[in-house]
Protein backbone atom coordinates (compact mmCIF):
# COMPACT_ATOMS: atom_id res chain seq x y z
CA UNK A 1 0.00 0.00 0.00
CA UNK A 2 2.80 2.42 0.95
CA UNK A 3 4.64 1.64 -2.29
CA UNK A 4 1.50 2.17 -4.38
CA UNK A 5 0.97 5.64 -2.90
CA UNK A 6 4.60 6.77 -2.96
CA UNK A 7 5.34 5.67 -6.53
CA UNK A 8 2.72 8.03 -7.95
CA UNK A 9 3.41 10.89 -5.56
CA UNK A 10 7.19 10.90 -6.09
CA UNK A 11 6.77 10.60 -9.87
CA UNK A 12 5.46 14.18 -9.87
CA UNK A 13 8.73 15.53 -8.41
CA UNK A 14 11.32 13.56 -10.36
CA UNK A 15 10.80 15.60 -13.60
CA UNK A 16 11.38 18.77 -11.56
CA UNK A 17 14.97 17.65 -11.00
CA UNK A 18 15.84 15.55 -14.07
CA UNK A 19 14.69 16.88 -17.43
CA UNK A 20 14.94 13.51 -19.17
CA UNK A 21 15.21 9.86 -18.14
CA UNK A 22 15.71 7.14 -20.73
CA UNK A 23 16.06 3.38 -20.39
CA UNK A 24 17.53 1.14 -23.08
CA UNK A 25 16.43 -2.50 -23.30
CA UNK A 26 13.72 -2.26 -20.64
CA UNK A 27 12.20 -5.46 -22.06
CA UNK A 28 15.17 -7.39 -20.62
CA UNK A 29 14.30 -6.22 -17.11
CA UNK A 30 10.61 -7.00 -17.55
CA UNK A 31 11.19 -10.61 -18.59
CA UNK A 32 9.45 -13.16 -16.40
CA UNK A 33 11.55 -14.98 -13.84
CA UNK A 34 13.95 -14.22 -10.97
CA UNK A 35 16.59 -11.59 -11.71
CA UNK A 36 19.49 -10.11 -9.74
CA UNK A 37 20.27 -6.68 -11.22
CA UNK A 38 23.94 -5.70 -10.88
CA UNK A 39 24.18 -1.90 -11.09
CA UNK A 40 26.80 0.79 -10.56
CA UNK A 41 25.97 3.33 -7.86
CA UNK A 42 26.87 7.01 -8.37
CA UNK A 43 23.84 8.70 -6.86
CA UNK A 44 22.50 7.25 -3.57
CA UNK A 45 18.76 6.51 -3.41
CA UNK A 46 18.13 8.19 -6.77
CA UNK A 47 19.68 5.28 -8.72
CA UNK A 48 17.12 2.63 -7.72
CA UNK A 49 14.15 4.99 -7.35
CA UNK A 50 14.31 6.27 -10.93
CA UNK A 51 14.55 2.84 -12.54
CA UNK A 52 11.78 1.60 -10.23
CA UNK A 53 9.51 4.36 -11.53
CA UNK A 54 10.52 3.70 -15.15
CA UNK A 55 9.90 -0.05 -14.78
CA UNK A 56 6.28 0.32 -13.60
CA UNK A 57 4.14 -1.74 -13.40
CA UNK A 58 7.05 -4.16 -12.93
CA UNK A 59 8.07 -4.18 -9.25
CA UNK A 60 11.80 -3.74 -8.57
CA UNK A 61 13.33 -4.23 -5.11
CA UNK A 62 16.76 -3.09 -4.04
CA UNK A 63 19.33 -3.36 -1.27
CA UNK A 64 20.42 -0.44 0.90
CA UNK A 65 22.75 0.19 3.82
CA UNK A 66 21.36 -1.49 6.90
CA UNK A 67 22.35 1.31 9.29
CA UNK A 68 19.56 3.43 7.74
CA UNK A 69 16.96 0.98 9.08
CA UNK A 70 16.22 2.47 12.47
CA UNK A 71 13.89 0.22 14.50
CA UNK A 72 10.23 1.11 14.31
CA UNK A 73 8.39 3.14 11.70
CA UNK A 74 11.44 3.90 9.51
CA UNK A 75 12.38 0.23 9.14
CA UNK A 76 8.76 -0.72 8.41
CA UNK A 77 8.36 2.07 5.82
CA UNK A 78 11.61 1.23 3.99
CA UNK A 79 10.87 -2.48 3.83
CA UNK A 80 7.30 -1.86 2.69
CA UNK A 81 8.56 -0.08 -0.44
CA UNK A 82 10.88 -2.94 -1.37
CA UNK A 83 14.18 -2.03 0.31
CA UNK A 84 16.24 -4.87 1.79
CA UNK A 85 18.82 -3.91 4.45
CA UNK A 86 22.38 -5.09 3.87
CA UNK A 87 25.27 -4.45 6.26
CA UNK A 88 28.91 -3.77 5.49
CA UNK A 89 31.50 -4.38 8.18
CA UNK A 90 32.31 -0.64 8.31
CA UNK A 91 28.63 0.12 8.99
CA UNK A 92 27.50 -2.52 11.46
CA UNK A 93 30.65 -4.41 12.40
CA UNK A 94 30.50 -8.17 12.90
CA UNK A 95 27.02 -7.91 14.43
CA UNK A 96 25.80 -6.25 11.28
CA UNK A 97 27.27 -8.99 9.11
CA UNK A 98 25.34 -11.58 11.13
CA UNK A 99 22.13 -9.75 10.27
CA UNK A 100 22.87 -10.21 6.58
CA UNK A 101 21.54 -13.75 6.84
CA UNK A 102 18.09 -12.18 7.19
CA UNK A 103 18.81 -10.03 4.14
CA UNK A 104 19.78 -13.07 2.06
CA UNK A 105 16.65 -14.90 3.18
CA UNK A 106 14.57 -11.90 2.12
CA UNK A 107 16.31 -11.78 -1.28
CA UNK A 108 15.74 -15.51 -1.78
CA UNK A 109 12.07 -15.07 -0.89
CA UNK A 110 11.71 -12.32 -3.51
CA UNK A 111 13.54 -14.36 -6.15
CA UNK A 112 11.37 -17.38 -5.40
CA UNK A 113 8.38 -15.19 -6.30
CA UNK A 114 10.03 -14.15 -9.60
CA UNK A 115 10.90 -10.68 -8.32
CA UNK A 116 13.77 -8.41 -9.40
CA UNK A 117 16.39 -7.33 -6.85
CA UNK A 118 19.00 -4.61 -7.41
CA UNK A 119 22.42 -5.10 -5.84
CA UNK A 120 25.01 -2.31 -6.13
CA UNK A 121 27.93 -4.40 -7.27
CA UNK A 122 30.68 -1.93 -6.30
CA UNK A 123 29.58 -1.92 -2.66
CA UNK A 124 29.81 1.86 -2.32
CA UNK A 125 28.25 5.06 -3.66
CA UNK A 126 30.57 7.58 -5.31
CA UNK A 127 30.04 10.06 -8.14
CA UNK A 128 32.63 9.32 -10.76
CA UNK A 129 32.62 8.03 -14.31
CA UNK A 130 34.18 4.66 -13.72
CA UNK A 131 33.33 1.24 -12.40
CA UNK A 132 34.99 0.30 -9.13
CA UNK A 133 36.06 -3.34 -8.49
CA UNK A 134 33.05 -5.57 -7.86
CA UNK A 135 32.49 -7.03 -4.39
CA UNK A 136 32.47 -10.77 -3.72
CA UNK A 137 29.19 -10.36 -1.86
CA UNK A 138 27.53 -10.16 -5.28
CA UNK A 139 28.76 -13.64 -6.18
CA UNK A 140 27.77 -15.03 -2.77
CA UNK A 141 24.26 -13.68 -3.24
CA UNK A 142 23.98 -15.04 -6.79
CA UNK A 143 25.10 -18.57 -5.98
CA UNK A 144 23.23 -18.59 -2.67
CA UNK A 145 20.09 -17.63 -4.55
CA UNK A 146 20.65 -20.41 -7.08
CA UNK A 147 21.12 -23.02 -4.34
CA UNK A 148 17.93 -21.87 -2.63
CA UNK A 149 15.84 -21.77 -5.83
CA UNK A 150 17.44 -24.55 -7.83
CA UNK A 151 16.07 -22.64 -10.82
CA UNK A 152 17.97 -22.55 -14.11
CA UNK A 153 16.10 -19.37 -15.07
CA UNK A 154 17.90 -17.24 -12.47
CA UNK A 155 19.73 -14.41 -14.28
CA UNK A 156 22.21 -11.68 -13.47
CA UNK A 157 21.29 -8.52 -15.39
CA UNK A 158 24.05 -5.88 -15.75
CA UNK A 159 22.79 -2.28 -15.72
CA UNK A 160 24.79 0.92 -16.10
CA UNK A 161 23.37 4.23 -14.92
CA UNK A 162 24.80 7.37 -16.56
CA UNK A 163 24.10 10.95 -15.44
CA UNK A 164 25.03 14.09 -17.32
CA UNK A 165 25.44 15.89 -13.97
CA UNK A 166 24.08 13.78 -11.09
CA UNK A 167 23.62 16.56 -8.56
CA UNK A 168 22.42 19.31 -10.90
CA UNK A 169 18.81 20.26 -11.57
CA UNK A 170 17.96 19.85 -15.25
CA UNK A 171 20.42 17.02 -15.93
CA UNK A 172 19.66 13.74 -17.73
CA UNK A 173 19.73 10.08 -16.69
CA UNK A 174 20.38 7.13 -19.00
CA UNK A 175 19.92 3.53 -17.82
CA UNK A 176 21.78 1.15 -20.11
CA UNK A 177 20.61 -2.45 -19.65
CA UNK A 178 22.90 -5.16 -20.97
CA UNK A 179 22.35 -8.79 -21.93
CA UNK A 180 21.57 -11.11 -18.99
CA UNK A 181 23.92 -13.81 -17.74
CA UNK A 182 22.45 -17.22 -16.86
CA UNK A 183 23.72 -18.39 -13.48
CA UNK A 184 23.40 -22.05 -14.49
CA UNK A 185 26.41 -21.59 -16.82
CA UNK A 186 28.65 -21.15 -13.76
CA UNK A 187 27.19 -23.95 -11.63
CA UNK A 188 29.41 -26.88 -12.79
CA UNK A 189 32.50 -24.89 -11.78
CA UNK A 190 30.80 -23.72 -8.58
CA UNK A 191 30.17 -27.30 -7.46
CA UNK A 192 33.84 -28.15 -7.89
CA UNK A 193 35.43 -24.94 -6.61
CA UNK A 194 33.13 -22.19 -5.22
CA UNK A 195 35.93 -19.61 -4.80
CA UNK A 196 37.02 -20.03 -8.40
CA UNK A 197 33.41 -19.73 -9.58
CA UNK A 198 33.01 -16.50 -7.56
CA UNK A 199 36.00 -15.00 -9.35
CA UNK A 200 34.91 -16.14 -12.80
CA UNK A 201 31.42 -14.72 -12.31
CA UNK A 202 32.84 -11.34 -11.28
CA UNK A 203 35.43 -11.42 -14.07
CA UNK A 204 32.62 -12.05 -16.58
CA UNK A 205 30.30 -9.45 -15.09
CA UNK A 206 32.78 -6.58 -14.73
CA UNK A 207 33.53 -5.97 -18.44
CA UNK A 208 29.82 -6.24 -19.25
CA UNK A 209 29.09 -3.49 -16.75
CA UNK A 210 31.96 -1.32 -17.99
CA UNK A 211 30.48 -1.40 -21.49
CA UNK A 212 27.28 0.13 -20.13
CA UNK A 213 28.85 3.26 -18.63
CA UNK A 214 31.42 5.85 -19.67
CA UNK A 215 34.45 4.41 -17.88
CA UNK A 216 37.45 6.72 -17.45
CA UNK A 217 40.52 4.61 -16.67
CA UNK A 218 42.61 7.28 -14.96
CA UNK A 219 41.01 9.67 -12.43
CA UNK A 220 43.56 12.28 -13.55
CA UNK A 221 41.64 12.46 -16.85
CA UNK A 222 38.18 13.05 -15.36
CA UNK A 223 38.21 16.79 -16.02
CA UNK A 224 39.68 16.31 -19.49
CA UNK A 225 36.68 14.16 -20.46
CA UNK A 226 34.26 16.83 -19.17
CA UNK A 227 36.06 19.51 -21.17
CA UNK A 228 36.14 17.35 -24.31
CA UNK A 229 32.44 16.55 -23.86
CA UNK A 230 31.56 20.25 -23.88
CA UNK A 231 33.80 21.05 -26.83
CA UNK A 232 33.38 18.00 -29.08
CA UNK A 233 30.31 15.90 -28.32
CA UNK A 234 27.76 17.84 -30.35
CA UNK A 235 30.20 18.11 -33.26
CA UNK A 236 30.67 14.34 -33.30
CA UNK A 237 26.91 13.73 -33.11
CA UNK A 238 26.16 16.09 -35.99
CA UNK A 239 28.94 14.66 -38.17
CA UNK A 240 27.49 11.17 -37.64
CA UNK A 241 23.86 12.34 -38.03
CA UNK A 242 23.03 11.25 -34.50
CA UNK A 243 19.86 12.32 -32.73
CA UNK A 244 20.97 14.77 -30.03
CA UNK A 245 17.80 14.19 -27.99
CA UNK A 246 18.39 10.40 -27.85
CA UNK A 247 20.35 9.65 -24.67
CA UNK A 248 21.64 6.35 -26.07
CA UNK A 249 23.24 8.09 -29.03
CA UNK A 250 24.50 10.78 -26.68
CA UNK A 251 26.07 7.96 -24.63
CA UNK A 252 27.75 6.51 -27.75
CA UNK A 253 29.30 9.87 -28.62
CA UNK A 254 30.52 10.40 -25.07
CA UNK A 255 31.91 6.85 -24.95
CA UNK A 256 33.89 7.57 -28.14
CA UNK A 257 35.40 10.67 -26.53
CA UNK A 258 36.17 8.78 -23.32
CA UNK A 259 37.86 5.91 -25.15
CA UNK A 260 40.06 8.30 -27.14
CA UNK A 261 41.23 9.96 -23.93
CA UNK A 262 41.74 6.55 -22.29
CA UNK A 263 43.86 5.47 -25.26
CA UNK A 264 45.88 8.70 -25.17
CA UNK A 265 46.48 8.13 -21.46
CA UNK A 266 47.62 4.54 -22.03
CA UNK A 267 50.06 5.64 -24.75
CA UNK A 268 51.19 8.68 -22.73
CA UNK A 269 50.40 10.81 -25.78
CA UNK A 270 51.81 14.34 -25.23
CA UNK A 271 48.79 15.77 -27.06
CA UNK A 272 46.61 14.87 -24.05
CA UNK A 273 48.71 17.07 -21.76
CA UNK A 274 48.58 19.91 -24.31
CA UNK A 275 44.80 19.55 -24.58
CA UNK A 276 44.41 19.71 -20.79
CA UNK A 277 46.53 22.85 -20.63
CA UNK A 278 44.65 24.65 -23.43
CA UNK A 279 41.20 23.53 -22.24
CA UNK A 280 41.90 24.60 -18.66
CA UNK A 281 42.99 28.04 -19.83
CA UNK A 282 39.90 28.37 -22.06
CA UNK A 283 37.36 27.38 -19.40
CA UNK A 284 39.09 29.50 -16.73
CA UNK A 285 38.76 32.47 -19.06
CA UNK A 286 35.06 31.73 -19.59
CA UNK A 287 34.54 31.59 -15.82
CA UNK A 288 36.37 34.88 -15.22
CA UNK A 289 34.50 36.72 -17.97
CA UNK A 290 31.10 35.15 -17.08
CA UNK A 291 30.68 33.97 -20.68
CA UNK A 292 29.33 30.68 -22.02
CA UNK A 293 30.95 28.30 -24.48
CA UNK A 294 28.08 28.67 -26.99
CA UNK A 295 29.13 32.28 -27.64
CA UNK A 296 32.24 30.98 -29.43
CA UNK A 297 30.97 27.62 -30.69
CA UNK A 298 30.52 27.65 -34.51
CA UNK A 299 27.60 25.23 -34.12
CA UNK A 300 25.77 27.92 -32.15
CA UNK A 301 26.46 30.80 -34.52
CA UNK A 302 22.74 30.99 -35.37
CA UNK A 303 22.05 32.11 -31.78
CA UNK A 304 23.81 35.40 -32.52
CA UNK A 305 21.67 36.18 -35.58
CA UNK A 306 19.32 39.20 -35.13
CA UNK A 307 16.19 37.26 -36.18
CA UNK A 308 16.90 34.50 -33.63
CA UNK A 309 17.55 37.01 -30.84
CA UNK A 310 14.35 38.88 -31.69
CA UNK A 311 12.29 35.68 -31.62
CA UNK A 312 13.72 34.78 -28.21
CA UNK A 313 12.92 38.24 -26.85
CA UNK A 314 9.32 37.94 -28.09
CA UNK A 315 8.95 34.50 -26.47
CA UNK A 316 10.27 35.88 -23.17
CA UNK A 317 7.80 38.80 -23.29
CA UNK A 318 4.83 36.57 -24.13
CA UNK A 319 5.63 33.93 -21.51
CA UNK A 320 6.54 36.29 -18.68
CA UNK A 321 2.98 36.40 -17.16
CA UNK A 322 2.87 32.58 -17.03
CA UNK A 323 6.38 32.42 -15.59
CA UNK A 324 5.51 34.95 -12.88
CA UNK A 325 2.34 33.03 -11.99
CA UNK A 326 4.27 29.76 -11.74
CA UNK A 327 7.00 31.44 -9.72
CA UNK A 328 4.53 32.83 -7.20
CA UNK A 329 3.01 29.39 -6.65
CA UNK A 330 6.24 27.41 -6.41
CA UNK A 331 8.95 29.78 -5.18
CA UNK A 332 8.43 29.21 -1.45
CA UNK A 333 8.49 25.37 -1.52
CA UNK A 334 11.40 25.45 -4.00
CA UNK A 335 13.50 27.81 -1.87
CA UNK A 336 12.63 25.86 1.27
CA UNK A 337 13.59 22.56 -0.37
CA UNK A 338 16.93 23.92 -1.61
CA UNK A 339 17.78 25.53 1.73
CA UNK A 340 17.00 22.40 3.77
CA UNK A 341 18.86 20.14 1.35
CA UNK A 342 22.01 22.29 1.40
CA UNK A 343 21.84 22.45 5.19
CA UNK A 344 21.67 18.73 5.90
CA UNK A 345 23.49 17.09 2.95
CA UNK A 346 27.24 16.80 3.32
CA UNK A 347 27.99 14.54 0.34
CA UNK A 348 27.11 15.36 -3.26
CA UNK A 349 26.04 11.74 -3.84
CA UNK A 350 22.97 12.35 -1.64
CA UNK A 351 21.94 15.78 -2.94
CA UNK A 352 19.33 14.79 -5.53
CA UNK A 353 17.89 12.03 -3.32
CA UNK A 354 17.30 14.43 -0.43
CA UNK A 355 16.12 17.22 -2.73
CA UNK A 356 13.40 15.04 -4.25
CA UNK A 357 12.42 13.61 -0.85
CA UNK A 358 12.26 17.01 0.84
CA UNK A 359 10.33 18.44 -2.11
CA UNK A 360 7.79 15.67 -1.56
CA UNK A 361 7.42 16.53 2.13
CA UNK A 362 7.24 20.29 1.46
CA UNK A 363 4.57 19.72 -1.18
CA UNK A 364 2.64 17.48 1.19
CA UNK A 365 2.86 20.13 3.93
CA UNK A 366 1.75 23.02 1.73
CA UNK A 367 -1.00 20.97 0.10
CA UNK A 368 -2.29 19.95 3.53
CA UNK A 369 -2.20 23.57 4.75
CA UNK A 370 -4.09 24.84 1.71
CA UNK A 371 -6.65 22.04 2.00
CA UNK A 372 -7.23 22.63 5.72
CA UNK A 373 -7.44 26.39 5.16
CA UNK A 374 -10.00 25.90 2.38
CA UNK A 375 -12.08 23.54 4.54
CA UNK A 376 -11.94 25.93 7.50
CA UNK A 377 -13.07 28.91 5.41
CA UNK A 378 -15.87 26.87 3.85
CA UNK A 379 -17.08 25.69 7.25
CA UNK A 380 -16.90 29.23 8.65
CA UNK A 381 -19.15 30.65 5.93
CA UNK A 382 -21.44 27.61 6.06
CA UNK A 383 -22.16 27.91 9.79
CA UNK A 384 -22.34 31.70 9.60
CA UNK A 385 -25.04 31.48 6.99
- pLDDT tens digits for 165-182? 888 888 999 999 999 999
Q: pTM, whole model, 2 decimals?
A: 0.87
On whether both 147 and 93 belong to a single domain, the answer is: yes
Q: Are residues 192 and 311 located together in one domain of the fold?
A: no
Domain boundary among 210, 233, 248: 210
Q: Is residue 216 part of a domain?
A: no
Query: Which is more confident, 83 or 251?
Result: 251
> Domain boundary at 281, 298, 315, which?
298
Asked whether residue 10 is domain-assigned, the answer is yes
| Phi, psi (deg, nearest 5) at residue 187 | -70, -40
Q: Of 298, 333, 352, which residue constitutes the final position of a domain?
A: 298
What is the helix (H) or strand (E) element at residue 235, kind and residue range? helix 222-239
85 versus 68: the higher-pLDDT residue is 85
Confidence of residue 21 (pLDDT cuts 50, 70, 90): very high
Does 269 lie in the same domain as 294?
yes
35 and 131: one domain? yes
- pLDDT the model gives residue 122: 93
Cβ–Cβ under 8 Å, residues 362 and 333: yes
| 105 domain-assigned | yes
- Do 126 and 33 share a structural domain? yes
Count of domains for the chain: 3
Pairwise CA distance, residues 131 & 138, whole Å: 15
Q: Tell me: the pLDDT tens digits for 24-82?
A: 999 999 988 999 999 999 998 889 889 988 888 888 888 877 665 666 655 666 666 67
Interval 202-240: pLDDT, tens:
999 999 999 999 999 999 999 999 999 999 999 999 999
- Could you tell me if 294 and 319 lie in one domain? no
Is residue 217 in a domain?
no
Q: Identify whether 237 is part of a domain.
A: yes
**What pLDDT does 97 receive?**
61
Assess whether 280 and 358 both reside in one domain. no
pLDDT tens figures, 276-310:
999 999 999 999 999 888 888 887 877 778 888 89
| 202 and 350 co-located in one domain | no
Span 342-380, pLDDT tens digits: 888 888 888 888 888 787 777 766 667 767 767 777 776
Per-residue pLDDT reduced to its tens digit, 183-200: 999 999 999 999 999 999
Are residues 274 and 152 both part of a single domain? no
C-alpha–C-alpha distance, residues 109 and 38, integer Å: 18
Is the same domain home to 230 and 326? no
SS3 content of the chain, % helix, strand, coil (to 5): 65, 10, 25
Q: Which domain holds residue 356?
A: 306-384
User: What span, in angstroms and rounded, lies between the C-alpha atoms of 227 and 275?
Assistant: 9
Please indicate, yes or no, whether residues 266 and 202 belong to a single structural domain of this protein. Answer: no
Please report, for the domain that includes residue 33, its CATH number. 3.40.1130.10
Q: Are residues 183 and 282 in the same domain?
A: no
Over residues 230-262, the pLDDT tens digits come to: 999 999 999 999 999 999 999 999 999 999 999
Amino acid sequence: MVFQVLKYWISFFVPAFYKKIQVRNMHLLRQHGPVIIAMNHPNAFTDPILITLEALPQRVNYMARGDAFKPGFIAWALQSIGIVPIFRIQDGGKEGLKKNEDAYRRVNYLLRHNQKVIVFAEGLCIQERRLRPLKKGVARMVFGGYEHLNNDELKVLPVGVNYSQPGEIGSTVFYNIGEPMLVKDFIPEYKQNPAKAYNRLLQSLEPKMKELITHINDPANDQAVLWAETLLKRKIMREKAMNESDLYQDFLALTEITEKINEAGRQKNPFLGLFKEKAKSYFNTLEKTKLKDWVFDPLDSYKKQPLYLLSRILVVILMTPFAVAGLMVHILPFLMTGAITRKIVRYVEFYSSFFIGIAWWCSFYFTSCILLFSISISMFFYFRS
